[in-house]
């Protein structure tokens, strides 16, 4: 047997992710693709799988450690490697096999230690002496001119991570000079304990990052919301008629796959809704693909997995993929590539949705569709009232990229598609 190091795979633009679970320990056996640890970024949690089968010789991370791509997490006594012909990339093949345990080529990022912090972490930072932060964070703070003593840490034991420093700078920039006419007035600090018992519960990283993203979108996007109702009596009847087929396929057939399919068709007819404003806000970047995100409510916060190439998939395939991604999101097992690349978002509140709401655009996208609660209502057919299944739709869009006529036309055509799904095959 040979010893092999396993490293954190490419996690995209995520930085300083936290180790939230150790799935194995020294002496444990692990199969190919078996989970070694679970890490959490600002968007979701993901497992770090083993590219080898063998025995765990050493775990080189601890709960609460902050790691990045390429960080060594474990050393395995390898009995079998993943096939090179498989769809999975051999992400943890480097460095080449060596006698274990071998010293890493570069020291790993600093790990959180119980207070008091290590002397190395306090060295050379007069403006932040006595705070809990690693060398990389202190270097970033010096570059940005941030006093770490003013920053609230979100890591284990209030450790300050890079996102805390960046968030502090963004907040300071948003406030601007104290006497600036455009500065947002600060909310007053209130001691609520004067009125009764209180408890402060920290936000998860996903909820905190989601709050920041929504705040940024609300401040930067010129929101307009168009409301309408779609008569989906025939669509809902057709969906219910497929119940036996859905059960045979092991798929729960909801309205959502029909809705995202209709949205993908509509994006082809209205390409400006499948775009993003360029950084100078003087042009549109039109996207020639139709990747649609859908909001999933989880215990950690709202997560938006992305369905790719919706226009090329049928309703059955979409229903199965929606169920799969929803389960991964709720179990904290979505990988970053399943959370990026969307060009339009659908937020469906299902039975809880009420008669309408104003969803916030998921910038840099320019539009989002909110779906309310399906309700049976009387509708005049020219001779008498008859019961019809009406679905509330709320389209929010960026008025800098789209005007009211375009928003109205998009919603009208979407209601036509949902009212007669035969139009999807034309």
How confident is the model over 198-214, as pLDDT tens digits?
999 888 888 888 888 88
What is the spatial distance between Cα 206 and Cα 169, in angstroms, rounded to a whole number? 19
Distance CA 272, CA 287 (A): 9
Same domain, 76 and 123: no
Residue after which a domain boundary falls, among 81, 105, 123? 81
pTM above 0.85, yes or no: no
Taking alpha carbons only, the member of 108, 117, 6, 19 closest to residue 62 is 19
Give a yes or no: residue 201 inside a domain.
no
Per residue in 131-153, pLDDT tens?
A: 777 767 787 887 788 888 888 88
Q: Are residues 398 and 314 in the same domain?
A: yes
Let me know whether 6 and 135 are in one domain: no
Asked, for residue 101, whether it belongs to a domain, the answer is: no
Asked, for residue 217, whether it belongs to a domain, the answer is no
Q: Distance (Å, rounded) from C-alpha 22 to C-alpha 105?
A: 24
Among 176, 196, 214, the domain-final residue is 176
Predicted confidence at residue 82, as pLDDT, reads: 62
pLDDT in tens, 40-86: 776 677 888 899 889 999 999 988 888 888 899 999 998 877 654 43
pLDDT for residue 272 is more than 90: yes
Q: Assess if residue 46 is contained within a domain.
A: yes
Would residue 102 count as lying in a domain?
no
238 and 303 co-located in one domain = yes
Q: Are residues 63 and 123 in the same domain?
A: no
Whether residues 270 and 405 share a domain: the answer is yes
CATH number for the domain spanning 49: value is: 2.40.50.100
Q: Nearest to residue 141, comparing CAs of 105, 172, 178, 183? A: 172
Q: Are residues 276 and 155 in the same domain?
A: no
Query: Two tokens at 313?
Result: 């998939």
Tell me: do 30 and 142 sit in the same domain.
no
**Domain contains 186:** no
The answer to whether residues 328 and 398 belong to one domain is yes
Which of 15-29, 131-145, 285-299, 329-343 is the least confident region?
131-145
Shared-domain flag, residues 290 and 147: no
Whether residue 253 is contained in a domain is answered as: yes
By annotation, the residues acting in catalysis are 399
Within-domain flag for 400: yes
Q: What is the CATH number of the domain that holds 241?
A: 3.30.559.10
Range of the domain at 234: 222-425
Mark whether 286 and 398 lie in a shared domain. yes
Q: Are 89 and 62 in contact (CB under 8 A)?
A: no
Q: In this structure, what are the phi and psi dihedrals at residue 108, rounded to the nearest 5 degrees?
A: -70, 165
For the domain that residue 120 is a member of, what is the CATH number?
Answer: 4.10.320.10
Whether residue 254 sits in one domain with residue 133: no
The mean pLDDT of the chain is 84
Element (H, E) at 306: strand 306-307
Please state the domain count of the chain. 3
């Amino acid at each position: 047997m040979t010893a092999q190091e396993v490293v954190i795979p490419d996690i995209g633009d995520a930085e300083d992710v936290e180790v939230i679970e150790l799935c194995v320990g020294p002496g444990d056996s692990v199969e190919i693709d078996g989970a070694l640890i679970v890490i959490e970024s600002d968007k979701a949690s993901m497992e770090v799988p083993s590219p080898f089968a063998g025995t765990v010789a050493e775990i080189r991370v601890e709960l609460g450690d902050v790691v990045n791509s390429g960080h060594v997490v474990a050393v395995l006594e390898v009995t079998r490697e993943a096939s090179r012909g498989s769809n999975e990339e051999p992400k943890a093949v480097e460095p080449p096999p060596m006698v274990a345990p071998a010293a890493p080529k570069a020291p790993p990022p600093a790990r959180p230690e119980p207070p008091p912090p290590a002397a190395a972490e306090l060295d050379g930072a007069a403006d932040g002496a006595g705070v809990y932060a690693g060398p990389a964070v202190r270097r970033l703070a010096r570059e940005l001119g941030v006093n770490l003593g003013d920053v609230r840490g979100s890591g284990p034991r209030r450790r300050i991570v890079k996102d805390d420093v960046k968030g502090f700078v963004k907040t300071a920039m948003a406030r601007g000079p104290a006497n600036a006419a455009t500065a947002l007035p600060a909310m007053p600090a209130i001691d609520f304990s004067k009125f009764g018992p209180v408890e402060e519960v920290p936000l998860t990283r996903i909820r905190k990052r989601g709050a920041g993203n929504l705040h940024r979108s609300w401040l930067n996007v010129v929101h307009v919301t168009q409301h309408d109702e779609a008569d989906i009596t025939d669509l809902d009847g057709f969906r219910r008629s497929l119940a036996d087929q859905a059960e045979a396929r092991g798929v729960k057939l909801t309205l959502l796959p029909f809705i995202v399919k209709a949205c993908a068709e509509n994006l082809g007819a209205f390409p400006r809704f499948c775009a993003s404003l360029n950084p100078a806000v003087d042009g549109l970047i039109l996207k020639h693909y139709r990747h649609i995100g859908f909001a999933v409510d989880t215990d950690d916060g709202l997560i938006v997995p992305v369905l790719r190439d919706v226009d090329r998939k049928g309703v059955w395939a979409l229903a199965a993929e929606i169920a799969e991604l929803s389960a991964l999101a709720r179990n904290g097992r979505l990988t970053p590539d399943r959370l990026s690349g969307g060009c339009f978002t659908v937020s469906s509140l299902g039975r809880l949705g009420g008669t309408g709401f104003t969803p916030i655009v998921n910038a840099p996208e320019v539009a989002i569709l909110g779906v309310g609660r399906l309700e049976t209502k009387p509708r005049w057919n020219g001779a008498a009232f008859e019961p019809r299944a009406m679905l509330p739709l709320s389209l929010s869009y960026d008025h800098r990229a789209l005007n009211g006529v375009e928003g109205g036309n998009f919603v009208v055509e979407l209601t036509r598609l949902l009212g007669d799904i035969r139009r999807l095959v034309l």
